[in-house]
Structure 1
Amino acid sequence: MDNNMINQDVAEFSKRIEHLLQVNPNKRILRFEYKGQIFWLKQPEKLRGIWNLLKPNPQKAFVRETVILQRFMQMGAPVPKLVLSGEHFFVLEDGGLTIADWLEDPQLSEARKMQILRDAVQALIDLHHCGFVHGRPALRDMTWKAGKVFFIDFESHSRSQNLLRKQVCDGLIFIHSLGRSKVLSDKQMRAAVDYYAQHCEAKIWQKIIDFIAKWRWLYRFLLMFKPIAKTDLIAIYRVFEHILPDLRKTLSRGSRHS
């Protein structure tokens, strides 16, 4: 393809984006098709009422997200391709359905779902191995397409400052998102947590165990609310219940060697 054709296609694509922005001024995220390919158009949040106080500068947050995407693309992190961006928008290539959507698909076999979930766990491990941090790697912030996992909606871009602590937080948030899933059985969640524990960096998993050890008193306290617990609290129970066995193993090994 010569340069004239490339420039013409870019101009045509840009014109399409301008039109979409004009007719969808309040649509934060928009899925659209262009020449048989799926793209996602994202704009800053349009806040109203009390949200203007709770999230005072959505434009600043949006610019930060764009910068993080550009930086992570340059570093080779697993993020969707940033096709076009401006002050008030950016366009990404489609990276597939979110992991949460795949797991909730009734047409997908359980074996296929577990493979996708394992791909997601491995992707988080690989992300940390490369020195990256996501900041909120929940199942809804990871997509899967043709065997490849992409991360979206990054909350952090640090590669050095407090890296271990942030990676531990990533691990806990990811496990919490497993616990929030209403379609993942305890057995499936246990398999995902076990895989993460066995393949992530040992120091990350040890810090996660240390965190659970420090706060297990809170778990015991929260148990009294179990009969009336909703999604987020149930997820907290499941986090503790799937990591406490590893803590007990650690304590048992320590007592045998003392």
Structure 2
Amino acid sequence: MVEPIVIDGQRAWLKQYGKGSRAMALGLLNFVAHRFQLDALRPPPHRGGDAAREVEARRLGELQAQGVNVPDVIGSGHAALVIGENGSSFNTCLREADDAGRDRLVMAAMRALAEAHSRGAYFGQPLPRNLTWDGERVGFIDFEEDPLEVMDLAEAQARDWLMFGYGVAKYYADRPDCLQAMMAEAIGTVQAPVREHVHAVSGRLQRLARVCMKLGRSARTLAHSIFIAHGATTMGVLMVVGLCMDFFADGELDILQLFC
């Protein structure tokens, strides 16, 4: 749970960590990722309480040392952190922007990702809801999981691109070519191992994307995001990212029957 507080006239955030759970869901997602060789989508452990607090505090320190725009840790307590503010909700900014403004925001986020990766950084879930915007810089939040516990750095950085691509695809339902062109430009700057990993996994999910085109609106949206990103540099992995994020949004994994 995260709630705003005020310290010495400055807005901050109190983040409290509940008990860890999701063991069954994480096991299912790990099975899918292993069975289909989708290493970048293996779910890291989801801890709770003081363990989650310690992971996030460590990750924030590491990212700050790498020059990434993340909030300061102001204080800590039992299963809680007090962190500073580093901008407004990126998701809200995307929803309120016109097409040109949305393109500028997305390109800024892609540049921030690429620059951070060039310094050896990685994030885990750089979805729009975990990004911020202060009018000049993109910021990053939410680091209670560490992908390097289950994958290497190249896979973790590939995961970042997949997560981000999935998250912004819904804002380009009417302009897929635009998103494809921006992603092609951004992915073209990443290190070869990251790009190659994304390329290899994407090919394994094209058949699944075609199946999803015959399902409901949510599945079709995910399938469209696969094809958009595939044109940029075959980022079809977005489908399974979508499955992961859909589960944590509504607690359901009905579509996993397709893998049986």
* Cα distance in 1 between the residues matched to 2:67 and 2:233: 35
Using CA pairs under 8 Å that are at least 6 residues apart, name the structure with larger relative contact order, 1 or 2: 2
Residue in 2 that maps onto 1:8: none
- Please name the residue that 1:237 is paired with: 223
| Secondary structure at 2:82 match in 1 | strand
Q: Counterpart of 1:212?
A: 202
TM-score (structure 2 length as normaliser): 0.70
- The separation in 1 between residues aligned to 2:23 and 2:198, in whole angstroms, is 35
Question: Percent of aligned positions with the same letter in both sequences?
Answer: 21
Structure 1 residue 78, shift from structure 2 partner:
2.3
Displacement of 1:178: 1.5
Cα distance in 2 for partners of 1:53, 1:223 equals 27
Instruction: Tell me which residue corresponds to 1:38.
Output: 11
Q: 1:139 aligns with which of 106, 111, 128?
A: 128
Residue of structure 1 aligned with 2:159, choices 165, 169, 176: 169
1:161 deviates by 6.0
Inter-CA distance 110–217: structure 2 relative to 1 (3 Å threshold) = closer
Which SS does the other structure have where 1:199 is aligned?
Answer: coil
Residue of 47, 59, 82 corresponding to 2:73? 82
Matched, 1:29 2:14: no
Aligned residues: 213
The aligned amino acid for 2:227 is E
Contact 1:97-1:143 within 8 A present in 2 as well: yes
Contact 2:158–2:198 (CA<8 Å) still a contact in 1? Answer: yes
Distance change (3 Å), C-alpha of 1:123 and 1:211: same
**Per the alignment, do residues 118 and 70 of structure 1 end up closer, same or farther by CA in structure 2, a change over 3 Å counting?**
same
| Distance in 1 (alpha carbons) for counterparts of 2:150 and 2:119 | 11
Instruction: Tell me what 2:92 maps to.
Output: 101
Name the residue aligned to 1:130.
119
After TM superposition, the structure 1 stretch with the greater mean CA deviation from structure 2, 76-85 or 168-177, is 76-85
Structure 1 position 46, deviation (Å): 6.2
Cα 1:159–1:128 change in 2 (3 A) is farther
Check whether the contact 1:212–1:244 (CA below 8 A) recurs between aligned residues. yes
Q: Which protein is bigger by CA-based radius of gyration?
A: 1
* Aligned 1:174-185 pairs, distance under 5 A: 174-181=164-171, 185=175
Contact 1:63–1:87, Cα closer than 8 Å, also in 2: no
CA contact (8 A) 2:154 2:194 kept: yes
The Cα of 1:96 is off from its aligned counterpart by 1.4
1:166-200: CA deviations, max 9, x gaps?
11111111111122447774244224323322333
How many angstroms does 1:220 deviate by? 2.0
In structure 2, do the counterparts of structure 1 residues 35 and 44 end up closer, same or farther at CA, with 3 Å as the change threshold?
same
Distance 1:206 1:66 in 2: 31
CA–CA distance in structure 2, aligned partners of residues 156 and 169 of structure 1 = 12
Displacement of 1:246 in angstroms is: 4.5
Name the Cα RMSD after superposition.
Answer: 3.1
Identify unmatched segments of 5+ residues in structure 1: 1-27, 249-258
Unaligned runs of 5+ in 2: 26-44, 235-260
Quote the offset at 1:243 in angstroms: 2.8
Q: Which amino acid aligns with 1:58?
A: G
Residue type matched to 2:131 in 1?
M
Deviations 1:187-236 (A, max 9, x none): 442243233223333442332222211221212222221xx222xx2442
